[in-house]
Amino acid sequence: MSRREGLEISAACAEAVALADVDVIAAYPITPQTHIVEHLARKVADGLLDAEYILAESEHSAMSCCIGSSAAGARTFTATAGPGLALMSEMLFVASGLRLPVVMALVNRTLSSPLSIWGDQSDVMSVRDCGWIVFFAENGQEVFDMTIQAFRIAEDERVLFPAMVCLDGFHLSHLVEPVEILDREEVDSFLPPYNPKYRLDPHNPTTMGAFAPPEFFSEIKKRQDEELRSSYHVILEVWGEWEKRFGRSYAPLSQYRSEDAEVILLMAGAFAGTARLAIDRLREKGLRVGLASLKLWRPFPREYLVDALGRAEVVCVVDRALSVGGAGGPIANELRAAFHDVADCPRVVSFVAGLSGRDIMVEGFMEMMEKALSYARDEEMPYYEMYGVRE
Amino acid sequence: MSNLQGWKDINHACMVFHPGNASEYHTGDWRSMRPVIDREKCIKCRICWAFCPDAAVRIGENGEYHIDYDYCKGCGICAYECPREAIEMIEEC
């Protein structure tokens, strides 16, 4: 039987990894991810988890270890944050190109400079095109659930892609919340042992990571792209099974009071929890507003977003990442692109807020939604706006 | 290009299931200059054979030297090293 427990969310993540019975954990500790790997290191040291724990000398090496162990057929996990992700970025592309189902917890932390240990989503957005499946969790239960789901999805023979679960640095990683922890039998019934279709085997030699000349490279990337896109259907299928077994439903968007909404607030991660309160307050004032919390970033759920958000008048996107010198927040940008050939589509208003751990309060979300409506109606919309920045 | 695989036929993750097949890839396609041996001048000293970075200088059954153009990339080291100036680099057309 599952048990409900008050846990730091990093510990809940580690519980999920242990229940997934991983074979190899290779990581380099970095704030605010450290607690996850500390919990796992302790489990291995105490004999509670039969896995190799590799303390790598850098994140580049950590991901390289993950690639090697996954290629050898081991269920493999790592965790990192912000600058650590940046350092492993070269190898992220390799893991995806080699189609290795490594699972990573990415504890979102901002990229320097200025030096900052606090959270935002600039790290994951910097590796937007690395070819991993990317999930965003909003609370501790989602971190636990998505971590187990990630192994099942990544290892599915129709998928075979690495997957990362994003959780906000500190706002999730260091928060204590009640989390329903599944028991061993429940996890085993959902997640079979990893039985790799392809792996390095001295008795059956194969080459992984071969050189490809220009006349083959594009075809190889085309196949990678098509197959990452089609993993979408497997993700939905696995989420459906999860709901049937454990009663918690997952979808590319978690929506709140958005059915008849004129203004839908779209964002990813923990701050959507606060945003729900802002929706209630604005509804009390008579404004038809709703929330869509993004759970799946890659493969990009374009049709789902167009369908779910298309009826609104305005989509107010709050990105916790700044594309410096770019064309707006990353999620807003991709949503605009998704709508580009859709007639009568909503106006997409782009706010960049909550950088480097700065809180967005209920009033902040209320103000952004009211501003978004007025920008859209007055047609004096800035391309994007950094919200709450002092003049 | 027409006889090359399309994207659906490429192996999963570009994996190679039959090791040792690099020889099937003819790197001689890269060549822009072609070495040509003048057999009259050649003294069969093996300098070109020793220096060739692609092992593309071959010695035939009768001891004659020739270039394996399937793998010769046209680097010109053989022509540079030849003590008898018996190898000429000619532009590929």
Domain with residue A189: its CATH number is 3.40.50.970
Judgement on whether residues A318 and A343 belong to the same structural domain of the protein: yes
Does the pLDDT of residue A364 top 90, yes or no? yes
ipTM over 0.90: no
Q: Do A220 and B8 touch (CB under 8 A)?
A: no
Does residue A236 lie within any of the structural domains? yes
Judgement on whether residues A165 and A46 belong to the same structural domain of the protein: yes
Q: The tokens of A237 are what?
A: 């299928």
Q: pLDDT digits over A275-333, tens only?
A: 999 999 999 999 999 999 999 999 999 999 999 999 999 999 999 999 999 988 999 99
Does residue A7 lie within any of the structural domains? yes
Q: Do B7 and A222 touch (CB under 8 A)?
A: yes
Contact (Cβ atoms closer than 8 angstroms) between residue A355 and residue A304: no
Does residue A128 or residue B93 have the better pLDDT?
A128
Which helix (H) or strand (E) is A86 found in, with range? helix A82-87
Judgement on whether residues A270 and A138 belong to the same structural domain of the protein: no
Judgement on whether residues A161 and A46 belong to the same structural domain of the protein: yes
Domain final position from A216, A246, A276:
A246
Q: Do B10 and A220 touch (CB under 8 A)?
A: yes
Q: Which of residues 208-247 of A touch B (CB under 8 A)?
A: 208-210, 212-213, 215-216, 218-220, 222-224, 226
Does residue A303 lie within any of the structural domains? yes
The full DSSP string for A307-326 is HHHTTSSEEEEEESS--TTS
Judgement on whether residues A230 and A198 belong to the same structural domain of the protein: yes
Contact (Cβ atoms closer than 8 angstroms) between residue A123 and residue A109: yes
Residues spanned by the domain of A164: 3-246
| Arithmetic mean of pLDDT, A191-211 | 93
As to burial, measured by CB atoms within 10 angstroms (0-12 exposed, 13-18 middle, 19+ buried), residue B2 is exposed
What percentage of residues in chain A have a pLDDT greater than 90?
A: 96
Give A1's pLDDT tier (boundaries 50, 70, 90).
confident
Residues of chain A in contact with residue B19, where contact means CB-CB under 8 angstroms, are 205-207
Judgement on whether residues A93 and A22 belong to the same structural domain of the protein: yes
Judgement on whether residues A279 and A188 belong to the same structural domain of the protein: no
Which residue, A171, A157, A226, is CA-closest to A357?
A171
Q: Which residue's entry shows tokens 């990442």? A: A321
Q: Which residue's entry shows tokens 């989420």? A: A239
Q: Which of residues 114-173 of A touch B (CB under 8 A)?
A: 160
Whole-angstrom distance, CA of residue A110 vs CA of residue A119: 5
| Arithmetic mean of pLDDT, A166-189 | 98
Triad A142, A257, A272: Cα angle to 5°: 40
Does residue A79 lie within any of the structural domains? yes
Domain final position from A188, A221, A246:
A246
Which residue, A352, A377, A378, is CA-closest to A364?
A352
Number of domains in chain A: 2
Contact (Cβ atoms closer than 8 angstroms) between residue A51 and residue A24: yes
Interaxial angle between packed helices A140-155 and A214-246, expressed in degrees from 0 to 180 and rounded to the nearest 10? 130
Q: Which residues, listed in sequence order, are joined to residue A319 by a DSSP beta bridge?
A: A352
Domain with residue A324: its CATH number is 3.40.50.920
Q: Do B14 and A216 touch (CB under 8 A)?
A: yes
Give B24's pLDDT tier (boundaries 50, 70, 90).
confident
| Helix, strand, coil percent content, chain A, rounded in steps of 5 | 40, 20, 40
Q: Do B14 and A212 touch (CB under 8 A)?
A: yes
Judgement on whether residues A233 and A263 belong to the same structural domain of the protein: no
Judgement on whether residues A114 and A203 belong to the same structural domain of the protein: yes
pLDDT of residue B2: 59
pLDDT of residue B93: 81
Give B1's pLDDT tier (boundaries 50, 70, 90).
very low
pLDDT of residue B19: 78
Judgement on whether residues A163 and A217 belong to the same structural domain of the protein: yes
When mean pLDDT is compared across A120-129, A271-280, A376-385, the lowest value belongs to A376-385
Does residue A391 lie within any of the structural domains? no
Q: What count of other Cβ atoms lies within 10 Å of the Cβ of residue A266?
A: 29
Does residue A103 lie within any of the structural domains? yes
Domains of chain B plus CATH, in order, are 32-91 (3.30.70.20)
Q: Do B15 and A198 touch (CB under 8 A)?
A: yes
Does residue A152 lie within any of the structural domains? yes
Nearest CA in chain A to B25: A213
Does residue A353 lie within any of the structural domains? yes
Domain final position from A189, A222, A246:
A246
Our separate counts of H helices and E strands in chain A read: 13, 15
Contact (Cβ atoms closer than 8 angstroms) between residue A200 and residue A73: yes
Judgement on whether residues A241 and A260 belong to the same structural domain of the protein: no
Tally A–B CB contacts below 8 A: 47
pLDDT of residue A314: 97
Closest CA of chain A from B25, distance in Å: 10
What percentage of residues in chain A have a pLDDT greater than 70?
A: 100
Closest CA of chain A from B27, distance in Å: 10
Residues of chain A in contact with residue B1, where contact means CB-CB under 8 angstroms, are 215
Whole-angstrom distance, CA of residue A172 vs CA of residue A391: 30
User: Hey, of B10, B12, B14, which one would you mutate to test binding to chain A, going by the most A CBs within 10 A of its CB?
Assistant: B14
Distances (CA, A) of A167 to A91, A119, A147, A174: 21, 9, 11, 10
Our separate counts of H helices and E strands in chain B read: 2, 4
Beta strand spans in A57-175 (E): 76-80, 103-108, 133-136, 163-168
Q: Do A210 and B16 touch (CB under 8 A)?
A: yes
Judgement on whether residues A9 and A138 belong to the same structural domain of the protein: yes
As to burial, measured by CB atoms within 10 angstroms (0-12 exposed, 13-18 middle, 19+ buried), residue A38 is middle
Distances (CA, A) of A343 to A311, A317, A328: 11, 20, 22
pLDDT of residue A211: 87
Q: Do B10 and A213 touch (CB under 8 A)?
A: no
